[in-house]
Structure 1
Amino acid sequence: MSESSAETAPPVEWSIPRGLIVLLSLGAAVVTIGGLKAFSGIVGPVFLALMLTIAVQPIQTWVRRKGWPAWLGMAAALVAVIAILFGIGGALALSAVQLASLLPEYGDKLNELLDHGRDWLSSVGVSSDQIHKALSGIDMGKAVGIIEELVGGVLGVFSNLFFVVALLLFMAVDGMTMDHRLSIVARERPAIAQALEGFVHGTRKYLIVSTVFGAIVAVIDGGALWLMGVPLPILWALLSFITNYIPNIGFVIGVIPPALLALLDSGPVLMIWVIVVYSVINFVIQSIIQPKFVGDAVGLGVTITFLSLVFWAWVIGALGALLAIPLTLLVKALLFDVDPTTRWADVLIGAPIDQKPAPRKESGKHAAADTAMDKE
């Protein structure tokens, strides 16, 4: 072969087989998930602070539009989010103390209920050995432990307030220049800026919708429990408000403690009424009305929503369950939305087409950049 032909021959292209790319991606995902789980005590509070910063960022934007100093907007946003944190955390802590002092009074009531249960099982022909096996493991300590564990999981969300508040302070300071930074990113990498903007927009809408419906559910549930005479209705109303951020099964978690307390306080009839009232209220609001607004806000399908709840609760814990939707939106933005060639995945993981939010109008620079990336 002559030197001229060797010089003009096209270079040999080398590419990684698609199967190997899939295996490498899965391995990287396993390592990443393991790291997130190992540092869940840090990742959870950091992301909580990020969500709260996103929620109150409009306060800083509004202050700047008024022409007021940037530090004033930072201070107003920080005060608002700290008031929210300490208000909810303080109310939950106070109610939990009341609950801990109230539960030991129901020991005799539980034993009485167990005796009635044994008598009823005997009347329907169940042998004493079977009754003993079925009821031997039930005692007041375990019932108290179940309730305290459920409430303690919620209180754990607010247990590291100092770390979260410190993060909020630093993020609020960065928030004063965040618009300028994003404008630079939009000029240099329009697709990345658009993906981050979509994440912030969807997260803020989700937080607004969940907060509004959570407040409605909390007021109705608390009022119903107060009318039925269930102890500590304010605590259970706050629990309903917080568990409203947990998709799909939030109300199931929220109904267990008041139902158990109603059983110990007034017997099975009141417990059944609590379950029925909670089911009706929460089914109508959380299963029929709210999903329509949440679907419009985040564009995630029901299956993805439920799987994200299970996954993030396993990785991060209680905070993962509360922040499952925003965490999934962030992963979606980083893995799919940053690249126009992978946005087809929205069709598979998103909400039904008639529930998808209307696409935002893109600027000429964004559209030109996406077209260029598509050609590449």
Structure 2
Amino acid sequence: MEESAEQRSRPHGRTRAAGTRVLVVLACAAITLAGVFLLRDVIAPLAVALVIVVICSPASTALARRGWPRSIGVAAIVVLAYSVLLSMGALVWIAGVQFTRLLRDLSPGGDLAHAAGQLDGWVSGALGPPGADASGAGASGAAVSGLLRLVAGASSAAVGIAVALFLVCAYVVVMAVDAGRYQRASIVFGAGRAETIARIARLNSDIRRYYVVNTVFGAIVATIDGLALWWLGVPAPLLWAVLAFVTNFIPNIGFVIGLIPPAILALAVGGWPLLLGVVAVYCLVNVVLQVFVQPKFVSDAVGLSLTLSFFAVVFWTVIIGPVGALLAVPLTLLARDLLLGGRDDDTVWLRWVSGDRGAIPSSHEIARGSPRENIRRAGRRIPWNQHGIRRRPS
């Protein structure tokens, strides 16, 4: 009787121990995230550089397999990483040129001065005192002055952006050197760290596949949106195409962010018909591709549930700023591997809930095969007779 009572108390003890462990993990995570939030200006460039190096690291691996020296592989990573940064800089430059032209057109005497006056009139009507008059050149000048104040405020962050880019470039070099050394980890440690090395390799592969999927879909969406806006007559279609490409890397809500600026401009230029045309194009292209099609590919590529990927955008944006929206999925994958990297049933269950389809308890794994064969194999493990169910012989 004493042994049976002790056995009955063991599950409750394990439950309490598991609950205590969860509380400890959550407390440590909260402290860590608070530190990341305070150091976000330093950690954000580090995260960007890490993602870029992970994306470019297969070049070094391919060269190492062909017998090239490790220094050549490191140089290949640096060259590819800087090429990615230059491509990003080119997109920013194109967007900046288009934005400057748009400001010039919105200035008094420009081609879109009437649109500026109409926009300022709407804002004054919504926020200004009753009876305020906001028409003509005065309204146009007020709208442009507001835009210029916005540009002046953004220029104060230019120094911070320059410092962040310098840190990214420096991080890329040192991480590329370390990446060349880490490729020998499987040779140095052998089977002793095989599981950890496999997890890191799988994480890197998931990050690369995620950005490949987003780049392909982003190029498709940006091309279609840019051509459609040009055909509809919306000013600066190339600027909005670049914006659509960049916001494509923000899961689920990126298309809304990319829709708002051209929609407002379309309303000012062409009224409600043009606005409805822009919204119809974005709903047809962006909603179908980004909301229904792309998340399916992203979920299959990285093993994250749609709910978790959506929450990750908000969470990492709060923690490390706007860059967190672009790095939400990779950072979530890294956090999941750090917190849920074990193979016990509780950890595997949480990974499965988060969207990892490969998370299967070792005690209930089903051999790969046809669905009929898998069901038959799984049926053998169910104690049918305990429930009075008679299993048909196979």
Preserved contact between residue 217 and residue 282 of structure 1 (Cα < 8 Å)? yes
Cα 1:28/1:357, change in 2 over 3 Å: closer
Shift of 1:219: 1.4
Shift of 1:320: 0.4
Preserved contact between residue 297 and residue 357 of structure 1 (Cα < 8 Å)? no
Could you report, residue by residue, the CA deviation over 1:276-317 in whole angstroms, capped at 9, with x for unpaired residues? 211210111111221111111111111111111110010011
Instruction: State the AA in 2 paired with 1:69.
Output: P
Match of 1:164 in 2: 168
Could you report, residue by residue, the CA deviation over 1:310-361 in whole angstroms, capped at 9, with x for unpaired residues? 100100111100000000000111111244452221121116xxxx3698xx
2:241 aligned with 1:246: no
Preserved contact between residue 107 and residue 140 of structure 1 (Cα < 8 Å)? no
Question: Tell me, what secondary structure is at the counterpart of 1:343?
Answer: helix
Match of 2:355 in 1: 350
Cα 1:24/1:73, change in 2 over 3 Å: closer
Question: Tell me, what secondary structure is at the counterpart of 1:241?
Answer: helix
Instruction: State the AA in 2 paired with 1:218.
Output: A
Cα 1:256/1:67, change in 2 over 3 Å: same
Matches within 5 A, 1:62-211: 62-103=62-103, 104-105=106-107, 106=112, 108-112=114-118, 140=143, 144=147, 160-184=164-188, 187-211=191-215
Cα 1:270/1:337, change in 2 over 3 Å: same
Query: Pick from 337, 342, 357: which aligns with 2:341?
Result: 337
2:248 aligned with 1:237: no
Q: Which runs of 5+ in 2 are unaligned?
A: 1-12, 361-394
| Total equivalences in the alignment | 333
State how far apart, in whole Å, the 2-side matches of 1:193 and 1:301 are.
Answer: 24
Preserved contact between residue 186 and residue 192 of structure 1 (Cα < 8 Å)? no
Match of 2:26 in 1: 26
Query: Pick from 257, 274, 277: which aligns with 1:273?
Result: 277
State how far apart, in whole Å, the 2-side matches of 1:29 and 1:117 are.
Answer: 43
Question: Tell me, what secondary structure is at the counterpart of 1:285?
Answer: helix
Once the two structures are overlaid, the 10-residue window that deviates more, 335-344 or 318-327, is: 335-344
Match of 1:257 in 2: 261
Q: Which runs of 5+ in 1 are unaligned?
A: 1-13, 122-127, 360-376
Matches within 5 A, 1:4-19: none
Question: Tell me, what secondary structure is at the counterpart of 1:230?
Answer: coil
Preserved contact between residue 349 and residue 359 of structure 2 (Cα < 8 Å)? no
Matches within 5 A, 1:297-308: 297-308=301-312
Query: Pick from 305, 309, 321: which aligns with 2:313?
Result: 309
Cα 1:146/1:309, change in 2 over 3 Å: farther
Structure with the greater relative contact order (CA < 8 A, sep ≥ 6): 1 or 2?
Answer: 1
Instruction: State the AA in 1 paired with 2:32.
Output: T
Shift of 1:94: 4.1
Question: TM-score, structure 1 length as denominator?
Answer: 0.76
Match of 2:391 in 1: none
Query: Pick from 228, 236, 247: which aligns with 1:224?
Result: 228
Shift of 1:39: 0.7
The share of aligned pairs that are identical, in percent, is 37
Shift of 1:54: 0.9
Shift of 1:217: 1.1
Match of 1:3 in 2: none
Preserved contact between residue 206 and residue 294 of structure 1 (Cα < 8 Å)? yes
Could you report, residue by residue, the CA deviation over 1:31-88 in whole angstroms, capped at 9, with x for unpaired residues? 1111010111111111111111111111111112222233223222222221221222
Cα 1:221/1:357, change in 2 over 3 Å: farther
Question: TM-score, structure 2 length as denominator?
Answer: 0.73
State how far apart, in whole Å, the 2-side matches of 1:108 and 1:320 are.
Answer: 37
State how far apart, in whole Å, the 2-side matches of 1:346 and 1:100 are.
Answer: 47
Cα 1:317/1:117, change in 2 over 3 Å: closer
Could you report, residue by residue, the CA deviation over 1:219-270 in whole angstroms, capped at 9, with x for unpaired residues? 1111212222222222222211111110010111111222223333433432
Could you report, residue by residue, the CA deviation over 1:92-129 in whole angstroms, capped at 9, with x for unpaired residues? 1343244145324245433346669999x9xxxxxx98
Cα 1:116/1:292, change in 2 over 3 Å: closer
State how far apart, in whole Å, the 2-side matches of 1:52 and 1:61 are.
Answer: 15
Preserved contact between residue 352 and residue 358 of structure 2 (Cα < 8 Å)? no
Instruction: State the AA in 2 paired with 1:169.
Output: V
State how far apart, in whole Å, the 1-side matches of 2:277 and 2:238 are.
Answer: 18
Instruction: State the AA in 2 paired with 1:297.
Output: A
State how far apart, in whole Å, the 2-side matches of 1:264 and 1:86 are.
Answer: 34
Alignment RMSD (CA, Å): 3.7
Shift of 1:146: 11
